[in-house]
């Protein structure tokens, strides 16, 4: 069914949009202890994401909603299977949301230090766990006859998935550092460029290592990449962006650098999605129970109705999102009084 | 405790804490549009301060709504996996539509409303304010439509072991959607009006920010009283609709144990001495003193909702809501007599009304949701069958504990930040001389 595949692609697009957009504000959070060094610099860093973080997070809500609407069994199995992990993601999201809003509203240094820590910690937690979840989906999950996850919580914390978690953290750190490099100036801007270079090196190393690890821990993805040409299509643009990124950073072509970082994130999501398509959840103990875009899809009527909604709404969403980012373009300065 | 009980407790906690935030921002968004429009017509410094002050409060509360709202969208999958599998074909669509159509709009334009005054023209700023309010209202529409489908499911057929969509419009505009949407939106307008009125009364009592407080209070009284008058009509129509579409919920609300013609209205019910007005319930429900009203005995015991909680929360909503109406009407009366800003006793009463609309909205939702039990989807799926089978009870206990702790912190922080903002005041004009 072509509708099922369209929705598979749309879910992947929403995930990529989330990784690019919330990726940078999660990265800014994660880097909050290293890049800014003074109170004023920390204010600038928080101010750089304050107007946009909640809009970015809506991409997660939309991806979740789209998964729920288009592939209910996948939504149900993954979210209930990763129960405690999902609760930790929620914990991280709540903590960092509150921290961004509360940080600049308290006068005492202890107040600010507390919310600096929770902003960084919450952001890191979200990035890490989402990466671990992706790692587990890459490996496949044991499912029972009703399609429910049949493993325990600790089984989710396997070395491969933790490694993918670390890779995700590095990827978001790269994205966040590129954002800061683009949005800040002076000493802070220089430090952001250095951080971006470090994060870039870490991400490239971890990503290559994860690729070498895939044949043993995610053999099905690896097999599909060997059998088909399609998963290789996003590789050249990704390679180009990742090679170009440090050069652009050194030459302070910072907007282009951020664009390169964003494109490489989109390519990472695309490679995984193309290699996995149409499988969402590979069942490791009984391949026939795997959840795919075909056997987990909602009815054609629902998919069509949703597609019409997306076709009508998405141009507006992209339009005003571009407008908002245009309003906030340019370097950030610390707002004098919260808002 | 069983995993099911824990999951129900967790959903009740997370949804009730969540609703405290959007119920205020939905209404406050409309207040902001009114202030921004007044400012467009007659620009002056007091409107500037009103817009800035109330939008800052909006910003603080909105962040809490985002933080707690993401939880809701995840929880159907984490805790109610069987439900998600059974109804995902229908129930997922409004949630996705809410994020895509409403929530993007609200959160994107909010940044312009909050931070953008110096970056965009006044007209663009007004437009952003309008989009924020529109986004919040559309959000309410999709969420209420989804919930209404659980109350009065329509536009579907049971195929392949799940509820499948047959008619999108019929599912979205199911029999209870329009009235419940209006009911919820008007409830949020009343909440924002009382909120603004109460804090304005506080400033007037303290002799601070007089002109700011007077204008805010007048706006709040007119807006609140209009919304409340409309709410009386909508609420009444909604109750009669429940009698037709969910008779067991209606019987629980009115504590009507036996099906009868000429049913009496219980003005005061158990555990207090009952006061029954003969035949009035039949008349109020069907405009006929001898109409037959279905009682709880028409339903099997396992299909009846819990009566005490449903009835008590309904009557708490009704009487507290009408009480707010009296307070608002009195305010307008005093304004007409020119005594509004000098009657300290009235201002004090209004000031203490602040928490009441929140309580009214919450207990109203308890009536709606507890009155729907034992069903998760009315007459289709029982709550006990909606639960995630693969999640062990220890894990739900852990997450419930986590939410209790973090939500207490969140509520405390919101209260602290709003209080701080209120004490700090709208600024600009500073301490004016009390007149």
pLDDT digits (tens, 9 = 90+) for B93-152: 999 999 999 999 998 999 899 888 888 888 999 999 999 999 999 999 999 999 999 999
Nearest to B66 among A97, A301, A310 (CB): A97
Task: Provide, as residue numbers in chain B, all residues whose Cβ is less than 8 Å from the Cβ of A61.
Answer: 69-70, 73, 99, 103
At residue B273 the predicted structure's pLDDT band, cuts being 50, 70 and 90, is low
Over residues A297-324, the mean pLDDT reads 91
pLDDT of residue A334: 63
Chain B residues touching A87 at Cβ < 8 A: 78, 398-399, 402
For residues A162 and A130, is the Cβ–Cβ distance under 8 A?
Answer: no
Residue of B nearest to A77 (CA): B81
Say how many CA atoms lie within 13 Å of A115 toward its Cβ.
Answer: 24
C-alpha span between B54 and B421 (Å, rounded): 10
Residues of B in contact with A51 (CB under 8 A): 111, 114-116
Residue A333 lies in a domain: no
Is a pLDDT exceeding 70 seen at residue B270? Answer: no
A84 near B CB under 8 A: yes
Residue B165 has its nearest CB partner, among A70, A82, A299, at A299
Look at strands B275-277 and B292-293 and give their pairing: unpaired
Domain ranges of chain B: 3-259+294-424
Neighbouring C-alpha atoms within 13 Å toward the C-beta of B199: 22
Q: State the maximum Cα–Cα separation within chain B, in Å, rounded to a whole number.
A: 72
- Determine the pLDDT at residue A338: 44
Answer whether B60 sits within 8 Å of A144, measured CB to CB.
Answer: no
Q: What is the DSSP string of B23-89?
A: HHHHHHHHHHHHHHHHHHHS--HHHHHHHHHHHHHHHHHHHHHHHHHHHHHHHHHHH-HHHHHHHHH
3-state DSSP assignment of residue B372: coil
Size of interface A-B (CB pairs under 8 A): 226
Please state the separation of Cα B82 from the chain's center in Å.
Answer: 27
Is residue B50 within 8 Å of B196, Cβ to Cβ?
A: no
A77 min Cα distance to partner chain B (Å):
7
Cα–Cα distance, B70 to A184 (Å, whole number):
30
- Give A243→chain B minimum CA distance, Å: 33
- Residue A223 and residue A46: Cα distance in Å, rounded? 43
Q: Please tell me the total count of domains within chain A.
A: 1
Q: B387-421: buried (b, 16+ CB within 10 Å) or exposed (e) per residue?
A: bbebbeeebbebbbebbeebbeebeebbeebbeeb
pLDDT of res. B254: 87
CA distance B219 to B39: 13
By the 8 A CB rule, do B388 and A76 touch?
yes
What distance in Å separates the CA atoms of residue B108 and residue B132, rounded to the nearest whole number?
Answer: 8
Instruction: Say whether A72 and B168 touch across the interface (CB within 8 A).
Output: no
pLDDT at position B269:
66
pLDDT above 50: residue A201: yes
Judged on CB neighbours under 10 Å (0-12, 13-18, 19+), A169 is buried
Q: How many CA atoms lie within 13 A of B46 on its CB side?
A: 11
In angstroms, the CA B133 to CA B105 distance is 9
* Contact in structure between B97 and B404 (CB atoms under 8 Å): no
Select from B69, B111, B390 the Cβ nearest to the Cβ of A324: B111
Give pLDDT tens digits for B160-195.
889 999 999 999 999 999 999 999 999 999 999 999
Nearest chain B residue (CA) to A327: B119
For residue B78, is pLDDT > 70? yes
Q: How confident is the model at residue A328 (pLDDT cuts 50, 70, 90)?
A: confident
Q: What's the full length of chain A, in residues?
A: 339
CB B43 within 8 A of CB B424: no
Q: What is the pLDDT of residue A13?
A: 94
What DSSP state is assigned to residue B382? E
Cβ-defined contact of B89 to A302 (cutoff 8 Å): yes
Q: Is residue A94 part of a domain?
A: yes
Contacts A57 to B, Cβ<8 Å: 66, 70, 107
**Is the pLDDT score of B251 beyond 70?**
yes
Question: Residue B84: which of A75, A144, A305 has the nearest Cβ?
Answer: A75
Which chain B residues are within 8 Å of A314, Cβ to Cβ?
100
Q: Look at residues B69, B70, B92 and name the one whose alpha carbon lies nearest to residue B18.
A: B69
What are A6-60's pLDDT values in tens digits? 999 999 999 999 999 999 999 999 999 899 888 888 989 998 998 888 889 999 9
Interval B318-349: pLDDT, tens: 999 999 999 999 999 999 998 888 889 999 99
Distance CA(A156)–CA(A85), nearest Å, equals: 9
The C-alpha atoms of residue B269 and residue A308 are separated, in whole angstroms, by 50
Chain CA centroid to CA B402, Å: 25
Percent with pLDDT over 90 in chain B: 64
Residue A103 CB coordination number (10 Å): 22
Q: Which residues pair with A279 in a beta bridge?
A: A292
Do residues B43 and B206 touch, judged by C-beta distance below 8 A? no
Least CA distance to A97: which residue of chain B?
B67
**How far apart are alpha carbons A86 and A84 in whole angstroms?**
5
Residue with tokens 């109610």: B80
What is the number of alpha carbons within 13 Å of residue B218 lying toward its C-beta?
Answer: 12
Tokens matching residue B101 = 């159509």
Q: How far is it, in rounded angstroms, from Cα B151 to Cα B367?
A: 12
pLDDT bin (cut points 50, 70, 90) of residue A315 is very high
Answer yes or no: are the C-beta atoms of B209 and B426 closer than 8 Å. Answer: yes
- The 3-state DSSP class for residue B119 equals coil
Q: C-alpha B356: how far from its chain's center?
A: 12
What pLDDT, in 10s, does the model give residues B378-387? Answer: 988 889 888 8
Collect all residues of chain A within an 8 Å Cβ-Cβ radius of residue B143. none
Query: Is the residue at A332 inside a domain?
Result: no
A151 in B contact zone (CB under 8 Å): no
Percent of chain A exceeding pLDDT 90 equals: 61
Chain B, nearest residue to A308 by Cα? B97
B175 to chain A, minimum CA–CA distance in Å? 20
Rounded CA-CA distance A141/B229 in Å is 56
| pLDDT value of position B358 | 97
Q: How far is the CA of B403 from the CAs of A16, B67, B369, in angstroms?
A: 29, 12, 20
Helix axes A219-227, A186-217, angle to 10 degrees: 90
Q: Give the number of C-alpha atoms closer than 13 A to the C-alpha of residue A257, restricted to the C-beta side.
A: 27
pLDDT of residue A330: 83
State the pLDDT at residue B208.
87
Q: In this predicted model, what pLDDT tens digit does every residue of A61-99 receive, in sequence order?
A: 999 999 999 999 999 999 998 999 999 999 999 999 999
- Residues of chain B with Cβ-Cβ distance to A156 below 8 Å are none
d(CA B54, CA B33): 11
Provide the angle, in degrees to the nearest 10, between the axes of the packed helices A109-139 and A83-102.
150
Q: Does A144 touch chain B (CB under 8 A)?
A: yes
pTM for the full predicted model: 0.92
Which ipTM did the prediction report?
A: 0.89
């Amino acid at each position: 069914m072509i509708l099922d595949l369209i929705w598979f692609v749309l879910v992947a697009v929403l995930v990529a949009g989330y990784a690019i957009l919330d990726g940078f504000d999660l990265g800014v959070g994660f880097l909050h202890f290293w890049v800014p060094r003074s109170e004023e610099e920390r204010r600038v860093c928080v101010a750089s994401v304050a107007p946009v973080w909640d809009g970015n997070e809506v991409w997660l809500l939309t991806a979740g909603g789209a998964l729920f609407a288009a592939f209910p069994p996948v939504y149900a199995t993954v979210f209930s299977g990763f129960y405690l992990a999902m609760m930790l993601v929620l914990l991280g999201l709540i903590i960092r949301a509150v921290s961004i809003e509360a940080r600049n509203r308290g006068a005492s240094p202890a107040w600010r230090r507390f919310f600096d820590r929770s902003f960084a910690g919450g952001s890191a937690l979200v990035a890490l766990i989402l990466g671990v979840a992706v790692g587990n989906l890459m490996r496949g999950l044991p499912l029972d006859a009703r399609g429910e996850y049949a493993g325990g919580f600790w089984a989710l914390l396997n070395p491969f998935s933790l490694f993918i978690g670390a890779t995700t953290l590095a990827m978001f750190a790269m994205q966040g550092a590129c954002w800061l490099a683009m949005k800040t100036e002076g000493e802070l801007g220089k430090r952001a460029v250095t951080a971006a270079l470090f994060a870039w090196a870490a991400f490239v190393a971890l990503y290559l290592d994860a690729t070498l690890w895939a044949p043993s821990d995610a053999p099905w993805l690896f097999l599909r990449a060997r059998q088909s040409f399609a998963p290789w299509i996003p590789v050249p643009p990704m390679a180009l962006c990742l090679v170009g990124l440090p050069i652009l950073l050194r030459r302070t072509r910072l907007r282009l650098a951020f664009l390169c970082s964003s494109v490489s994130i989109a390519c990472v999501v695309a490679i995984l999605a193309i290699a996995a398509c149409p499988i969402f959840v590979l069942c490791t103990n009984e391949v026939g129970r795997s959840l795919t875009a075909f056997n987990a899809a909602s009815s054609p009527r629902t998919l069509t109705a949703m597609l019409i909604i997306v076709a009508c709404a998405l141009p507006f969403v992209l339009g005003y999102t571009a407008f908002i980012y245009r309003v906030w373009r340019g370097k950030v300065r610390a707002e004098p009084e919260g808002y | 405790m069983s995993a099911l009980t824990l999951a129900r407790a967790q959903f009740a906690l997370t949804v009730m804490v969540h609703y405290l935030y959007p119920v205020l921002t939905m209404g406050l968004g409309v207040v902001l549009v009114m202030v921004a429009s007044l400012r467009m017509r007659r620009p002056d410094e007091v409107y500037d301060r009103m817009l800035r002050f109330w939008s800052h409060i909006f910003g603080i509360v909105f962040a809490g709504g985002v933080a707690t709202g993401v939880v809701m969208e995840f929880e159907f999958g984490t805790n109610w996996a069987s439900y998600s599998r059974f109804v995902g074909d229908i129930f997922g669509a409004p949630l996705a539509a809410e994020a895509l159509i409403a929530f993007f709009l609200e959160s994107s334009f909010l940044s312009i409303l909050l931070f953008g005054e110096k970056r965009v023209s006044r007209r663009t700023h007004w437009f952003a304010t309008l989009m924020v309010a529109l986004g919040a209202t559309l959000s309410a529409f999709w969420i209420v439509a989804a919930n209404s489908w659980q109350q009065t499911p329509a536009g579907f057929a049971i195929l392949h072991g799940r509820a499948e969509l047959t008619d999108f419009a019929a599912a979205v505009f199911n029999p209870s959607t329009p009235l419940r949407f209006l009911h919820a939106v008007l409830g949020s307008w009343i909440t924002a009006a009382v909120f603004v009125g109460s804090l304005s009364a506080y400033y007037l009592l303290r002799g601070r920010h007089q002109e700011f407080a007077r204008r805010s209070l007048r706006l709040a009284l007119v807006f609140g009283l209009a919304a409340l008058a409309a709410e009386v009509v909508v609420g009444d129509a909604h109750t009669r609709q429940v009698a037709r579409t969910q008779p067991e919920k209606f019987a629980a609300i009115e504590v009507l144990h036996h099906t009868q013609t000429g049913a009496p209205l219980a003005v005061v019910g158990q555990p207090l001495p009952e006061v029954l007005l003969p035949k009035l319930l039949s008349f109020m429900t069907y405009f006929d003193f001898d109409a037959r009203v279905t009682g709880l005995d028409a339903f099997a015991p396992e299909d009846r909702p819990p009566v005490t909680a449903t009835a008590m929360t309904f009557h708490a909503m009704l009487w507290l809501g009408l009480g707010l109406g009296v307070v608002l009407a009195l305010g307008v009366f005093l304004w007409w007599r020119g005594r509004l800003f000098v009657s300290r006793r009235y201002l004090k009463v209004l000031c203490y009304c602040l928490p009441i609309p929140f309580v009214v909205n919450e207990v109203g939702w308890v009536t709606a949701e507890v009155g729907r039990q034992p069903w998760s989807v009315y007459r289709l799926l029982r709550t006990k069958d909606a639960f995630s089978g693969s999640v062990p009870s220890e894990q739900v206990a852990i997450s419930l504990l986590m939410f209790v702790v973090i939500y207490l912190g969140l509520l405390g922080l919101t209260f602290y930040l709003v209080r701080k903002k209120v004490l700090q005041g709208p600024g600009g004009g500073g301490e004016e001389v009390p007149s």
